[in-house]
Structure 1
């Protein structure tokens, strides 16, 4: 019986691995095709490329429209993260530690951007920004994207605050530190990894968003996703593959840098732990 169970468990694990590898390959295959297509020498998307060339990377870098939309997306993303992260952190602290009526109602209100369809939210924002004459404003789009990133910040920071050891704060208060100094020197450094993850979530949400950007960015305020979408409606060019490859390289560099930072921090903390023992 035990041998039969072991054989069946091995078969199920092998089947699970096969399914997992198949799903991963299905998701990665389009990305791996985009990279060689970006080095195409012709005006059409061909795989494999008949000749290798950097033509479309030069067109992307030399085109003022593409670089302007990229910088606009980066600026809007950083502004959205800079707005959503502190607001969401303070909201998470209040929701986790506060004791007041209507707390669940406030939490539900903060989660509304996750449940309301983007097209409905976009129409509402367009109506408000039109009256305020803010269509095409970088700050208007950043505020809209910060609203989208706020629920993710609240969720991540709520979990971090719940796992935070409050005895550290009490010890600081006992030693005479004020609440403000304790917050800046004890609480914030302890929540730094969650803050970084929250800011990254908010930035990615803003950088990748297109529905609200179509309504709010205006004619001359295109973000990179909006420009790619409008470009695909008129022409299918390998320059889009070049843009996608550059974004993929940026993402891989970010992940690699984050992994190296974790390894370095682990190596630095290891000698300290050994010395403490």
Structure 2
């Protein structure tokens, strides 16, 4: 391990802290804004009130959008994790590096292609198939964006897995299915959990694609927030943003805790 001079180490820590504050500060500003007693987004707040949370929780449009976002994100996380696992297994079984590279590029393309391009393409296809404004359409569209994250996370899980454990299990008489369920799967659960969390957050925060496929009968919270910005800027918007921040933070912390606990159990065994 490369040792650094104490002064250099201190400077690096300070730079890292400043960069972290710079990245996190814009997100944290919405929290005090959501408690303001004013009817506009003014920072810093001159008074405090819970009226905007009351406005958010008692407005059927906001609560329905929140429920839709949660439902879609859960379904996307489940579907993207299953598809990501199958894709990672397929890549793992291949020997041709050029084919692997080509397929990996295809699987990760939604991370590289501009979101507006993906949105236009999916909108044209979904319009033909009658999926615009439907729950299935939202789930399939968001899965396209979330799948690369699950593939990367699960592939990383396989990279840290000792394949000799599978050979040992099969040499003792276990079938391929039993070996996968009792040996392989438990060891890649941390990667699957990480992928599912990324998929959930990707879907829960998605705006661009949702704007194209939304309908008056099915809306998501980020789209409602975007529409609110175009109409007015009352602090209900900040309350909604704080709710999103709270949900994603709790989920990520819970997921990291479960993943860390699983890794410790696996090492202990």
Q: State the shift of 1:268 in Å.
A: 6.8
Work out the CA distance in 2 between the residues paired with 1:51 and 1:87: 49
1:81-120 equivalence runs, <5 A: 81-99=77-95, 102-120=99-117
TM-score (normalised: structure 2): 0.89
Task: Find out whether 1:60 has 2:56 as its counterpart.
Answer: yes
Alpha-carbon separation, structure 1, partners of 2:189 and 2:173: 24
Quickly say closer, same or farther: Cα 1:141–1:260, change in 2 above 3 A.
closer
Q: 1:33 corresponds to which residue?
A: 29
- Report the counterpart of residue 221 of structure 2 in structure 1: 224
Mapped pair 1:76 → 2:98: no
User: 1:96/1:236 Cα in 2 relative to 1: closer, same or farther (>3 Å)?
Assistant: same
Q: Partners of 2:174 and 2:181 in 1: how far apart?
A: 11
Compared with structure 1, are the counterparts of its residues 66 and 114 closer, same or farther at alpha carbon in structure 2 (3 Å cutoff)? same
Name stretches of at least 5 consecutive residues in structure 2 with no aligned partner. Answer: none
Q: State the TM-score, normalized to the length of structure 1.
A: 0.86
CA distance in 2, matches of 1:96, 1:265: 23
Gaps in structure 1 of 5+ consecutive residues: 1-5
Q: CA deviation at 1:10?
A: 4.2
**SS state of the match for residue 102, structure 1?**
helix
The number of aligned residues is: 266
Q: Is the 8 A contact 2:154 2:195 kept in 1?
A: yes
Kindly indicate whether the alpha-carbon contact (under 8 Å) linking 2:193 and 2:255 is maintained by their aligned counterparts in 1.
Answer: no
TM superposition shift of 1:27: 2.5
User: Among residues 12, 20, 23, which one is paired with 1:16 in the alignment?
Assistant: 12
Q: Give, in whole Å, the separation in 1 of the partners of 2:169 and 2:7.
A: 56
Aligned to 1:144: 141
Aligned to 1:248: 245
1:123 to 1:235, Cα distance in 2 relative to 1, 3 A: same
